[in-house]
Homo-oligomer: A and B are copies of this chain.
Amino acid sequence: MTLTVDLARYLAERREAVDQALDRALPSADRYPKTIHESMRYSVFAGGKRLRPILVIAGAEAAGGSMAEVMPTACAMELVHTYSLIHDDLPAMDDDDFRRGRPTNHKVFGEAVAILAGDALLTLAFRLIAENCAANGRDPSLLRDVLIEIADAAGTEGMIGGQVVDLESEGQKVLPETLEYIHTHKTQALIRASLRAGALLMNAPSRVLAPLTRAAECLGLAFQIVDDILDVEGSLEQLGKSAGSDQRKQKATYPEIFGLEVSKLRARELAEEAKAALAMIGPRVEPLVLLADFIVERKS
């Protein structure tokens, strides 16, 4: 198929719309008690790529829906992602002082507020998903399916499970299947749920949902492999954190186990597999096809 979408513009438009919606969804920074709202906003507006919200939107578009119909859930996925970063950065966890070139939440607001800000973002995320159902006027039972989808992706069968195994694997010799578990749970699960949630909210038929799910799994894994590669190759300027931080923390990574060349090849293969799955859906998924290459070729 001939691609007609300008990806940079597609991403910029959606990122801007998501940022505006997040600004409306979050309590204002001067609302009592101020500290917690400042802390939540500090991390949400720290310059993220908004990949997960954009995937929710792209999932809705793939099923014939529009950005406006899934915006609350798109914002919710960014809040779930942000809460996980705040908690991951805590001294008891990865103990990171910087994130995206800025001091981490607990370095600015203290550990107690950082823990509570994460809790509050997770709580607000579920509120936004509940609101989505009211807003788009579709069958409210879809809300139940989407909630369960996202809760499972974020819980101990998903992201939290991945984080636990990641923590327990630090400094250990990690088997390839353990690394696979960490990557598919810690990163892929939420990316998969994002794309699926958008499509589910639009009541996508399985001829759309099945290939979309396969594409999401490939993109989610590719995204994490590229993250691992960038940690070895990237510079502080590009990443906003020191390159090589995974190695210093003795984190299990793809390049560590399979080498850089095999890792790059695998990421490329996954992008092609995602594109093959997407080709079964049709022209509505053009942005996702371009996004597959973008995820593999990105430098930060």
Contact = CB atoms under 8 A, between A and B. Distances in A.
Interface string A58-79: 0000000000000000000000
A93 B122 contact: no
Contacts of A113: 164, 167
Contacts of A148: 127, 130-131
Contacts of A134: 141, 144
Contacts of A36: 156, 160-161, 164
A123 B163 CA distance: 15
A19 interface: no
A118 interface: yes
B111 A160 contact: no
A32 B177 CA distance: 13
Interface in A74-104: 83, 87, 90, 92-93
Interface string A129-159: 1110110000111011001100110111100
Nearest to A116: B160
A120 interface: yes
B120 A155 contact: yes
Contacts of A115: 87, 90, 92-93, 115
Q: Is the interface of A mostly helix, strand, loop or mixed?
A: helix
A63 B4 CA distance: 57
A285 B53 CA distance: 45
A211 interface: no
Interface residues of A, number: 52
A130 B141 CA distance: 9
Interface string A19-49: 0000000010001110111001000000000
A50 to B, nearest CB: 22
A130 B148 CA distance: 7
Given A123-B151, A130-B151, A164-B116, A33 B92 contact: no
Contacts of A261: none
Given A35-B164, A92-B115, A164-B33, A127 B147 contact: yes
Contacts of A140: 139-141, 143-144
16 contacts: A33-B165, A36-B161, A40-B156, A92-B110, A93-B112, A113-B164, A113-B167, A116-B164, A123-B155, A124-B151, A124-B156, A130-B143, A130-B147, A130-B148, A130-B151, A134-B144
Question: When A and B form their complex, which 6 residue pairs have the shortest distance between CB atoms, in order from nearest?
Answer: A92-B111, A127-B151, A130-B147, A140-B140, A123-B155, A126-B126
